[in-house]
Amino acid sequence: MNAVVLPRTSIWPRRWQRTLLILIAVAFMLVFLLLPLAVVFTEALAKGVQTFFVAITQPEARSSIRLTLLVAAMVVPMNIVFGIAAAWAVARFEFRGKALLGALIDLPFSVSPVIAGLIYVLLFGAQGWFGPWLNAHGIRIIFAVPGLVLASVFVTLPFVARELIPLMQAQGSEDEEAARVLGANGWQMFFRVTLPNIRWALLYGVLLCNARAMGEFGAVSVVSGHIRGLTTTMPLEVEMRYNEYDYAGAFAVASLLALLALLTLAIKTALEWRYGDDLAAHAPGGH
Amino acid sequence: MTLELSHLTRRFTDYPALDDVSLEIPPGEFLALLGPSGSGKTTLLRILAGLDYPESGSVRREGRDLLALDARRRKVGLVFQHYALFRHLTVADNVAFGLRVRPWRTRPKRADIAARVERLLRRVQLQDMATRYPAQLSGGQRQRVALARALAVEPDLLLLDEPFGALDAQVRVSLRRWLRELHDEFGLTTVFVTHDQEEALELADRVVVMNRGRIEQIGTPEAIYHDPATPFVCEFIGKANRIAARCEGGKLVAGGLVLGSDPWDGRHDSAIVYIRPEQFVVAEPDEGESWPVCVRHAFRAGGTMHLTLDAAALGQVLEMDVFDGERPHGAWHHGACLRIRPRHVTVFPDGIGPAAALTREPRIVAPATQPVAAGP
């Protein structure tokens, strides 16, 4: 986004007012964001680097890292497929219930993650609607990996679609029509024209989706059952260690999660800086 | 390879975009679809391209149903108003796109594609821009890339949607002459959509004037300008003075001047007369058959004087153009009074409802001294 130079008129704050506003914002960031982050890393390393490495290489820790990566690796592709399909439908077609679809995409943002988790327990749990049938066929969803994936898909559903819809609406379908008239079939049109046009916004959505999938606690906590080494993802592992007064261990795993978040932030910022024009959120005009 | 469009109708939710449109396009023709926005001209173009479909009617090429073919199999080149260049591809890759997406059996060899792209880029004078991206080009250059991209697939039919709409005036004029040369050189059949009548009249072999989804007139630029078929064409093409006239005793009369004999033999009481500003001549003071007028404003534009005249006999203002070469009477200044008469007028019956007045019985008559000429 371009820097906006504010005109010096009476409606804009005086110099001291401006300084005060900036100070408040910076102080807020320091206290509520940077300080906790610093605490995570200092606590993680408080008992020495040795303890830190022991904490994150314990079997439970390694299994939680593996599980978190596995869940993200399944959730992100599902989200890409759904996100592109939903964005395509909303941006390119007129159909009954289009407004409803648009509203439903946002639903996971407004529903508490705990409720999302409970919904799946009600559906697939032992006492749930499909519980007896699933049980009879030996399929485990709740308190198992499929439940974790379902809950994560639910909470991350909007990320990719939300990035793509405004961009695809702004770009319109002329490029795709041009490709069709030039003789491209559907797949060629998609891979040679549509996808390149939305690639940076898609990557941006994938990053946000990935960060959320790895960091999700509420929904996952409900469906996990907290079986050590089997169904605990990293956020759950952090909580369990904390509850067991293993502060160094909790913060060690937490610091890994924080590192993931920082990495996401860095890539996201780089994307915004380099391809800001192609990202819907930052260029309402599209191109 | 004549293209036959017959009885095409396309309806959007609340208005007809095309209403029973029939048209024949012979090979090699440069055809303009001219009309105001919402007249259906772009819808017609999109139907030819395969991007839109009519509710009824047919399009045939060599007797074969074109509508049954998918857009990608029609061998049509389309240039969009805003070019729709692929922004992630270089100029050369944009031009090569239509060749590279072909199935491998019909796809030219890599070297052949490169050669054809280079030849086309040289033809549109962009050989030095091959590795640039669309964002690095000017509007006129983008337009030429879009054209080269459309021509690369050797289309049977070239379609252009407002091809010069997004360009500034100077580039526009030079580019349209160039486009006409290209059309003749490649032996193309070209259909282009425009709302700019000057463009249509200058470039096209034939012009199709459209209004509210219907064809008002199809004809050469001369016919469209000099023998307009409907009041809409009169008012849309060029400037025209609109004057109410009466049919009295076998004569057509306006403001006390007999314009000619009644072309309808008393079937209509009143008529609407259109006179183009350059169709007025200054009459000698003693000539009876003329209107007395006084100059209200005089504007000079190059070698032409545009006059606004008060015509008391008609109770209205007239626009008249006088070219320097044919200026018989000194300076035109505010308040000067003179007598004028029309050389050529176009008449339509009035008072029988707008639908009937649209297409029925246009007549072109000349002033009293000359014989009456029948319209198309």
Contacts of A280 (CB under 8 A, 6+ apart): A163, A164, A165, A166, A167, A170, A201, A286
* Chain A residues close to B149, C-beta within 8 Å: 178, 182
Encode burial over A72-96: b for 16+ CB neighbours within 10 A, e otherwise: bebbbebbbebbbebbbebbeeeee
Instruction: Read off the amino acid at residue B310.
Output: D
Question: From the candidates B52, B70, B97, B158, which should be mutated to test the interface with A, based on the most A CB atoms within 10 A?
Answer: B97
Q: Do B72 and A185 touch (CB under 8 A)?
A: yes
Q: Report DSSP letters for B1-50, one per residue.
A: --EEEEEEEEE-SSSEEEEEEEEEE-TT-EEEEE--TTSSHHHHHHHHHT
Pick from A121-135, B35-49, B251-265 the range whose average pLDDT is largest.
Answer: B35-49
Pairing of strands B157-161, B190-194: parallel
From B47's Cα to the closest Cα of chain A, the distance in A is: 12
Q: Tell whether the model's pLDDT for residue B352 goes beyond 60.
A: no
| pLDDT confidence bin for A13, thresholds 50/70/90 | low
Write phi, then psi, for B59 (nearest 5 degrees). -125, 125
Run of H or E including A140? none
| pLDDT confidence bin for A156, thresholds 50/70/90 | very high
Of B78, B82, B86, the CB nearest to A181: B78
Q: Which pLDDT tens digit goes with each residue over B212-258?
A: 999 999 999 999 988 888 889 988 998 899 999 888 888 888 888 88
B335: its two tokens: 């308040």
* Chain A residues close to B153, C-beta within 8 Å: 182-183
Q: Do B72 and A174 touch (CB under 8 A)?
A: no
The CA distance from B263 to B348, in Å, is: 10
Average pLDDT value over all residues in chain A: 86
Contacts of B203 (CB under 8 A, 6+ apart): B30, B32, B176, B179, B180, B192
Write phi, then psi, for B77 (nearest 5 degrees). -105, 130
Check residue A44 and give its pLDDT: 86
| pLDDT confidence bin for A277, thresholds 50/70/90 | low
Q: Report DSSP letters for B345-367, one per residue.
A: EEEEEESS-HHHHHHS--EEE--
From A178's Cα to the closest Cα of chain B, the distance in A is: 7
User: When comparing pLDDT for B3 and B369, which is higher?
Assistant: B3
Output the CA–CA distances (angstroms, integers) from residue B317 to B243, B293, B342, in the order listed.
10, 9, 15
| Chain A stretch 166-195, residues whose beta carbon is closer than 8 A to a beta carbon of chain B | 174-175, 177-185, 188, 192-193
Q: Tell whether the model's pLDDT for residue B83 goes beyond 50.
A: yes
A180 to chain B: closest CA residue:
B72
Contacts of B309 (CB under 8 A, 6+ apart): B293, B294, B295, B296, B317, B318, B319, B320, B340
Q: Do B80 and A184 touch (CB under 8 A)?
A: no
Residue with tokens 């007809």: B16
User: When comparing pLDDT for A3 and A215, which is higher?
Assistant: A215
Note whether A132 contacts B: Cβ–Cβ < 8 A: no
Contacts of B36 (CB under 8 A, 6+ apart): B195, B211, B236
* Chain A residues close to B102, C-beta within 8 Å: 183
Q: Which pLDDT tens digit goes with each residue over A27-74?
A: 999 999 899 889 888 888 888 888 888 888 888 888 999 999 999 999
A249: its two tokens: 């261990």
Mean pLDDT of B286-298: 83
Question: From the candidates B47, B88, B137, B156, which should be mutated to test the interface with A, based on the most A CB atoms within 10 A?
Answer: B88
Check residue B351 and give its pLDDT: 58
Tell me B81's DSSP state: T
In this prediction the pTM is 0.79
A74 three-class SS = helix
Question: From the candidates A180, A182, A203, A278, which should be mutated to test the interface with B, based on the most B CB atoms within 10 A?
Answer: A182
Output the CA–CA distances (angstroms, integers) from residue A287 to A170, A275, B99, B303, in the order listed.
8, 11, 26, 44
The CA distance from B375 to B361, in Å, is: 8
Q: Do B86 and A193 touch (CB under 8 A)?
A: yes
Q: Which pLDDT tens digit goes with each residue over B5-22?
A: 999 999 887 777 899 999
Q: Do A178 and B71 touch (CB under 8 A)?
A: no
Q: Do B101 and A180 touch (CB under 8 A)?
A: no
Question: From the candidates A181, A189, A200, which should be mutated to test the interface with B, based on the most B CB atoms within 10 A?
Answer: A181
Counting Cα atoms < 13 Å in the Cβ hemisphere of B227 gives 13
Q: Are A141 and A231 in contact (CB under 8 A)?
A: no
Mean pLDDT of A196-205: 90
The CB-based long-range contact list for B205-209 (8 Å cut-off, 24+ gap) reads B205/B29, B205/B30, B205/B31, B206/B29, B206/B31, B206/B32, B207/B31, B207/B32, B207/B34, B208/B23, B208/B31, B208/B32, B208/B33, B208/B34, B208/B41, B209/B34, B209/B35, B209/B233, B209/B236, B209/B237
The CA distance from B359 to A143, in Å, is: 78
Check residue B372 and give its pLDDT: 38
Tell me B87's DSSP state: T
The percentage of chain A sitting over the pLDDT mark of 70, rounded to a whole number, equals 91
Write phi, then psi, for B372 (nearest 5 degrees). -75, 130
Handedness of CA B83, B87, B91, B94 (dihedral sign): negative
Mean pLDDT of A121-127: 85
| pLDDT confidence bin for A125, thresholds 50/70/90 | confident
Output the CA–CA distances (angstroms, integers) from residue B55 to A107, B16, B72, B193, in the order listed.
39, 11, 21, 21
B83: its two tokens: 């070019």
* Chain B residues close to A182, C-beta within 8 Å: 72, 97-98, 101, 149-150, 153
Check residue A278 and give its pLDDT: 60
Structure ipTM: 0.81
Of A174, A192, A287, the CB nearest to B80: A174
Of B51, B80, B98, the CB nearest to A183: B98
| pLDDT confidence bin for B353, thresholds 50/70/90 | very low
Q: Tell whether the model's pLDDT for residue B93 goes beyond 50.
A: yes
Q: Tell whether the model's pLDDT for residue B364 goes beyond 60.
A: no
| pLDDT confidence bin for B282, thresholds 50/70/90 | confident
Check residue B370 and give its pLDDT: 38
| Chain A stretch 6-35, residues whose beta carbon is closer than 8 A to a beta carbon of chain B | none
Q: Do A183 and B84 touch (CB under 8 A)?
A: no
Of B49, B88, B89, the CB nearest to A181: B49
Check residue A286 and give its pLDDT: 35
Check residue A281 and give its pLDDT: 42
